[in-house]
Amino acid sequence: DALGALGLVWAMVLTRAGQSGSHPFPDASIAVFFLLGLFNRSALWLPVALGLAAAVDAWVVTGDINAYCTTPASLFLIPTYATVWLAGRFARKRRPTAVLTTAGIAAGVAFLISSGSFYFLSGQFPDLPLAEYSRQVLTPVRRGGRGGLTGCQVAAPRRSDPPARTRGTRLTRSTTPMTRRTLILGGVRSGKSLYAESLARADGREVTVVATATAGDAEMAARIAAHRARRPPAWSVIETPVRLAETLRQTCRPERVVIVDCLTLWITSLLSADDEALADRETQALCARLPELPGGLILVSNETSLGIVPVGALTRRYLDCAGALHRRVAAEMDRVVLLVAGLPLTLKGS
């Protein structure tokens, strides 16, 4: 009895820990808790298994930039797994058909608890309607997959995440994307890139990042490396310091979300060129191209218009160019968001 329980718990630990690799195992936690209730007489194995699940999750998310298993939603793993464990206890000494029926009902209830708690309490879906969240989360269930927060460790962004996986759930490719065009503005280190990446994850389509930065010094090289490290390897990256409009023409597709990070570094490259007309030419080309681009598009840029007028002529030109570009781009985008201290303030759209 104890040996069998140890084997089940060990299977859960292996599959939960295996979620962090490049070839993640299916998480067996739901099945393990049901079987513990079905075959093991001692109720002590329930807190043991819960403790090990929490320990594995804590180990998996250690070192990640955003550990989403620490949100209040993670507490609902307790009723999620307790539900299937109690169902296993209930199904004991019943016919095989009744056992299977009980397991199916318990798994459905556990799915509702985990998915619902993650939607309402994790804070990761402030702009995703409940109906759309439910539709996307239920898609892998109908296909025999899984959803919800039953494997809490997948809620943290990891290098092994495929493009269709989001924090806590695996959202499928949608024909009605959450946001077609979004402009994200904000100050330095305000959370713009992280917010852009969260939108791309939640959208569910494949993701391409168009990076405009160049590693001119050690500090910028370190920042570029940090951005690369937190992105899933399935996301493709295109480095474009100058020809942004042409790159977007070749890259944007209906089945793809493109993140441009960021416009202000792009403007810096344009103004640093020997061709003084390059900035005007390229910004006009971008604004003309925007209405024609298919698929999802997320533009990231620094809000530079909140300070005083600078003394230097080049700095003034930089601010004038950035401000004019932001106004024209904002007019074309479906949604404009200002990030302050990591908090999104919607200026346009919903």
DSSP-assigned letters across all residues of 21-76:
SSSPPPP-HHHHHHHHHHH---TTHHHHHHHHHHHHHHHHHTT-S--GGGSGGGGG
Q: Which CA distances in Å does 112 have to 34, 150, 313? A: 16, 10, 59
Contact 300, 184 (CB under 8 A): yes
Q: Which residues contact 123 (CB under 8 A, 6 or more apart)?
A: 71
DSSP-derived pairing of the beta strands 256-261 and 343-348: unpaired
227 is annotated as an active-site residue: yes
186, two tokens = 């904000």
For 189, the 3-state DSSP assignment is: coil
Residue 178 C-alpha from the chain's centroid: 13
What does the alpha-carbon distance between residue 238 and residue 208 come to, in Å, rounded to a whole number? 7
What does the alpha-carbon distance between residue 315 and residue 199 come to, in Å, rounded to a whole number? 32
Q: Position of tokens 């949100």?
A: 71
- Residue 165 has, within 13 A of its CA and on its CB side, a CA count of 25
DSSP-assigned letters across all residues of 81-124:
HHHHHHHHHHHTTS-HHHHHHHHHHHHHHHHHHHHHHHHHHSSS
Residue tagged active-site, from 89, 227, 230, 317: 227
Q: Position of tokens 């927060």?
A: 149
Q: Position of tokens 């100058």?
A: 242
**The CA-based dihedral angle spanning residues 315, 301, 209, 125, taken in that order and rounded to the nearest 10 degrees:** 160
For residue 94, how many other CB atoms are within 10 A of its CB? 12
What does the alpha-carbon distance between residue 259 and residue 245 come to, in Å, rounded to a whole number? 13
Residues serving a catalytic function are 227
